[in-house]
Each structure stands twice: as C-alpha cells, then as structure tokens.
Amino acid sequence: MKDKDACLPNLNVPFNTYSTRIMSIKVVLYRFTKKLGLSSARIFLLVGMASLLIFSIPASAESIHDDQKADDEWHFVLKPLYLWSVSINGSTTLSVPGGGGGEFPVGSSGLTGAFSFHFEAGKNKWNLFTDYLYAEYTSKDVTGPVGFLKGQNELTLHLTEFGGTYSLIEKPKYKLEVLAGIRHLNVKNKFTFDRSNLFSPLEGSANIWDGFAGARFARKLTEGISGHARADIGTGDSDVVWNIVLSMEWRYNAWGSIYAGYRWLNYDFNELNGNDEFGIDIRAEGPGVGLGFYW
C-alpha cells in the first residue's frame, strides 16, 4: 500500500530558500488539518493562503498600490455580484403556540438565491466601504419543536455593512489597516409544517444593528498577485458577531482583477418581546469568487 505522505516533499534540505519555506509550511499545515478532519478542498485553500501570506517576504518590491492613482486623488473599487457559496450551521428560534420559543435547525440549508456587491472609495490613508449581501436558504425535513412534526425552514438575509479604514502601516510590499463600521442584518424566518392543513406557519423577523471593529492586511506576492486578510468582531443588538475573510487576488491589468477566498460569519442574537421570541445562532461559511474593477 502506498504511503499517504509519499507525495510530500523532503524536508531534509536547508531551510533557506523561498520554495523550501513554502513547501515546509504546506507539510505542517497538511498534517495538522488532516487531524482536524477538514476536507481536502478546505485544506488546499487554507494551506495555500497561509503559505503565501506568511512566507512570501522578499526584500524589496514596488508599492502595493503602484498602479493606482496618486495618494492625494480619489480611487475606487467595485466588486459586483461576487459569489459567496455559503453553507449555514446552527439554529433559529421562533415563537410557538402557547408561548415560549422553539428551536429549528438550519444545518441542512440549501442556498436558493443570492445577490451581492462591494464598493470602496479611498484617498490618502482613509478609505470608505460598503458591502451588501442578499441570500435565501431553505432547509427541508426539519423537525419542529413538538418533536415528531416536520416541515421546511426558510431563512432570508439582507446583510449590509458601512465602514471605514485607516492605514497604519503602508510599505512597498504590504499594508495594514484598522477598520470600524456598522453592520445591519435584516433576517426573516418561516417554518412551514408538512401538514400545512392542520398547522399554520411559524414566522419571525428582526432588524439587527451592530457596531464592529477590526483590521485588514494586504500583501503583494508578485507583480500581479496579492493576498488579503480581514478580521473583525462586534456587538450591539447581537450578543456577538464576528467575521473573517481570507482571499487571493490577481490584478491582470490596471483596472481589473479576479479574486477567490473563504469567509466565516457568526451571529448570536436573541430577542424576547412579550410572548414573542425570535433568535438566530448561526455560522455561515464558504468559498467565494468574484471580479474587481478599479478606477
């Protein structure tokens, strides 16, 4: 039987070259993520991003914004219709007849509709951004709060961000920014019993406002390829909401790019209004791809 690690590189070589550093970290992360039980697709994505972001540190290079306008001019970025292939795990809480709340799992959610875009405007060290995501999910064969009644759980999300960044460090090869903003989630949840002739649907909705703060990092890897990372955490109406994005971008010319990455978004919210209760405790994650336009 062939050794499963036979294809991995030999590490008994000097740890002083660019390629050796990259391959070495891939080996370590490969073995670590396999122990965690991650899928091969996620392992490949995480290993590749970590390798490029951490170990590609040449001594000199052109500025990460060398192909943009001068710092004292406005420059803009539009990323329309980026596709975030989101899967959701967790549960929602809806009021049930007689008072109180019942939990409905959303772990088998299927994405049934989505629309999104991202826009930025920057000048000097300051940058403003907005992001919008619309998504619909449908979970079938979900067990209701009674325990033996099943149905369909529908979740609709409108997620909007408004924020700004300030550049703390900007070197020829990398850039570090702090960020802050407001995130709004309009969420609607509807559970329809399979025996709809006997039971009325259960419904709930909320407008959730949260402030958030964090940082993002950009690293130029080659003349046209760069790595990006963003992390933020917030609270407000939610108990806590956190967001992490890792991505790679290829600027194929001065005005256009292609990018791909992975995003995690976690919400924990619960609201009690009299006898009505509504809540969500979900983690959304998945790979994303899109196009960018610069001017």
Residues 66-76 have pLDDT tens digits of: 444 556 789 99
Most confident range, picked from 8-17, 96-105, 227-236:
227-236
Query: What value does the mean pLDDT of the chain take?
Result: 76
Q: What angle do CA 114, 115, 118 make, to 5 degrees?
A: 135
Which alpha helices (DSSP H) does the chain contain, by range? Answer: 18-36, 40-55
Alpha-carbon separation of residue 17 from 30, 56, 199 (angstroms): 20, 11, 67
Task: Give CA–CA dist 6/229, Å, rounded.
Answer: 32
pLDDT, residue 196, reads 63
- Rounded to whole angstroms, how far apart are CA atoms 36 and 34? 5
* Residue-range domain boundaries for the chain: 18-55, 75-294
The helix or strand, by DSSP H or E, that contains position 161, with its residue range, turns out to be: strand 150-170
pTM score, two decimals?
Answer: 0.70
Q: Let me know: does 76 contact 294? Beta carbons within 8 Å.
A: yes
What are the φ and ψ backbone dihedral angles of 28, each rounded to 5 degrees? -60, -50
Residues 100-135: pLDDT tens digits?
A: 566 666 755 566 667 788 999 999 999 999 999 888
pLDDT band at 41 (very low <50, low <70, confident <90, very high): very low
Q: Assess whether pLDDT exceeds 60 at residue 1.
A: no
Split at pLDDT 50, 70, 90, the class of 221 is very high
Cα atoms in the 13 Å half-sphere on the side-chain side of 261: 22
Question: Are 216 and 177 spatial neighbours (Cβ–Cβ below 8 Å)?
Answer: yes
Q: Within 13 Å, how many C-alpha atoms sit on residue 226's CB side? A: 22
| Cα–Cα distance, 119 to 129 (Å, whole number) | 6
Distance set, CA 116 to CA 64, 68, 94, 133, 230 (Å): 26, 25, 27, 4, 18
List the CATH code of the domain at 75-294.
Answer: 2.40.128.90
User: Averaged over 30-51, what is the pLDDT?
Assistant: 46
